[in-house]
Structure 1
């Protein structure tokens, strides 16, 4: 673009210090689009996977043996994940807007660099541009570069925030894995406790049966004791009757004893007489046997 220069400014030497030695034009349109797609796709896919994993984890945790504290911890973790997801979505939108602004600023920067190059080439020609237009272009370029640097700083800060939230998300995922492992061990402990409770219930049932048998035996023994008490009471009554009869017959005891002694003496005398008669009968029988034997011998 060539500008008409007035005669009074045509004789001045205008020196423009524009150094483009380290300037590089990098076409990052494809990268920006891919980055934008990643920013819009990856967090959503990760959040969806996290939601599904959390739902499965919550379904697995909803067991009768699980405590209310564990369910409350799962709810707190899910709420924290939802907050992180919202913050990540906000940062994703901001990052996308920053990416678009950066792309526009790169286009403006490229256009300004090309314009500056054109201005630099026009300074070597006899006809130069007007100083006012050149200063305006430089001011515009400087302001655009300043805005670009500010946007670059904001994008860098957004990346740091995104890394921080990614770290927090990884920490929450690790915490969920650790919590799931603890729940698994807790379920194993609960299963072992249920087995022990079942064994103790069986032992308690056996003890209850033994207790019932002992109660029945105690009832039988109690009935026997009551029957024996009644029998003892009856014997005591009989004893009282016998004692009363003995006391009533005690005054006739000496008469009876004298009679019994006389009867015993008479029995002894009778026994002696019978013994003497028996001896005489044996002697007579022996004599008869001797006579019979002698008679038999003589006959032979």
Structure 2
């Protein structure tokens, strides 16, 4: 999932910078990796596992050169993880093989692109601390509410699964707005560490856990807006905080109220699951 989110951030930046040839290649690997991640999570949850995601470093590149190096570092890490997995069962092996299949070709492409570049030392990360924390919490919200969508769907609570999926989508749209604005100024904000998330066992605790993250996002969003020297970024952070406040007023199983963070793409978890798992 970390690789998928990093690829997504890079895709947003490359689209803003109109680097279509790089965008297309990273989009291709992201499409494969997202589907594989969905399949693995669905398989685990369908067998009654409560999936947890540990705290992790998340360091996207901030320019064309560092994006390619960041992708290569992630690929090396991901390949190491895949090689050390202790796999039992034919189905599990098939999932891992699918995840491993595109790695070599992608690394070859990255090596070829890196060979064309002059390495650049950008020095220390210049991300404002509050903005870094904001993005880290949004990524955690994307992941946790998505896990709950799987859990609720497999528990037969389809309406609750849709709301969890809408919340995950909203957090993704909020992050997208921040990344796109940052890319316009030439720098991508990079949180140092994303917090761990834990799938909850039932709808009540899942809703409460997700609302706890929404509250943290609302609080940090307001602080990030107040601290930002960029008028447009301040407006984006404020709109996200306002949307989070509306979500906090939602009752369990109620109508999802977000406006800035609502999209038809994230309306039906059943539809998205069918699209990526068939």
Bin the TM-score by the shorter chain: under 0.3
Which of 1 and 2 has greater Rg?
A: 1
**More helix by proportion, 1 or 2?**
1
Q: TM-score, normalised by structure 1?
A: 0.22
Q: TM-score, normalised by structure 2?
A: 0.23
